[in-house]
Structure 1
Amino acid sequence: MRINGNTIFIPGATSGIGLALAERLHDAGNTVIVGGRRRELLAEIAARHPGIDTVVIDTTDAASIASAASEVIERHPDLNVLVAMAGIMRIEDWTRPSGFVSTAEETVTTNLLGPIRLIGAFIEHLQTREDATIMTVSSGLAFAPLRVTPTYNATKAAIHMLSESLRLQLAHTSVRIVELEPPSVATDLMPGQSESSFAMPLDAFADEVISILRDEPDVTEVQVERVKFLRYGEARGDYAEVVKTLNASDPHAAE
């Protein structure tokens, strides 16, 4: 993925990692469209960052995704990058069925069905562009589980394998698949996470991601150094120790 000259749609970018990357990609010389559910937040972003466009979208709603996709493509026919950013992370207690089923369903809808529907809404258009990218967002927890967030872990593992599979299917098209794999980052994804001593500062994370994209334009998995402890435990042969360390620390130790 080239670092500038793109037209990029980032649904789920009204805060946290999504917004931090949207700001930096805009500053790097890209046309950026931010998507989110709340019109007031979108208006604030547009006011603070002249040149960033905004579109209302609810990535849990198939009709909203279809409508937003039509709007984005009509207003920005040069769109060539989709960043499927939106996601939620919830604590679940699977020892009590009434305490996890609805949360698990909501997590699957947001974290897995949302990106699938987004890609489905844009894939035909992206294949008409000479140089296109879909950036998926998994997690360090796709590779090592956090005990308190089983469905989140599972959806991010599914996103990783979806990314691997789509890269194979789209190999002979103009569309590249890039997977972003965050560690724990100081955002509001989980209560208290923005103040957690285990979380990577948001600005440091976003700056490192942009550096990787700039220095490694052919990268397929965007991994800041901090996530590699989780990502490569099995390959190093210390997976059991990684899982033990992760779950002995702060419950928000990874996103």
Structure 2
Amino acid sequence: MYSDAQETLINLFEDALILVKSFNRDVYKSDFETHYNKYKDFFVNVNESLREEEGKEAVISELAGIIPNYIDGKLKKIGQKRKRENLILDYNMALVTYVLPVINYGVGEYGNAISEKIVELWNNNISSVTIKNATYETITEGFKKRLCYITTAVCESLGKPDDCYELELLRNYRDKYLIEENAGRDIVQQYYNIAPTIVKRIDKRDDAKGIYKRIWTDYLTPCIHLIEENEKEACKKVYSDMVYDLQKKYIYS
């Protein structure tokens, strides 16, 4: 049963690298389902075999090591540090969007054990940025929070926590104001589709921290002050300008 595991899991990852290039809210559900169905029989067999396996922990560790070992081998062939770092960002994204969620969804009761071990090996050997386990549900729930996707990245670069005042204020503004009116919903929808790519491209740059600091100064701080002053329409204009400017610079440039 496990004889084809290496080839199958490597193909799973390589397919995820392709899918992540078009990752956004509109296509994630259908892409995830197609991706899962392609490997469904393999996952069913893994789950059934593990139920009967006496040495479950050893088999889980062996399965979990396939993708990290494969990526480690690829990275060792890359001489340039910056190129390796950029590849790792792509690999991280593929792993948390289309690999871990599919394993958690597909391997039933043992999915979490395998995915948690992958995360442990990945964080120890591949990525300097700590990744967390992910499920289909956490990804789709995350889309509901994406108005703060860039804001979250900015706050992280400034050492602010996920529940910081600024993020909570902007999330409340999104949920209590923007989504309630048509023009605001259009901004949110546009943001859903481009924010992950913008953050990904900024993170690849040497001056990422400086870029996030400028976003904070030029867009987020004025918008937060406008919300505090109940100038919600004015804040919408600032946020809309930010989406447009960042899209122009990091999507179409």
TM-score by length of 2: 0.31
Bigger Cα Rg = 2
- Give 1 or 2: higher helix fraction: 2
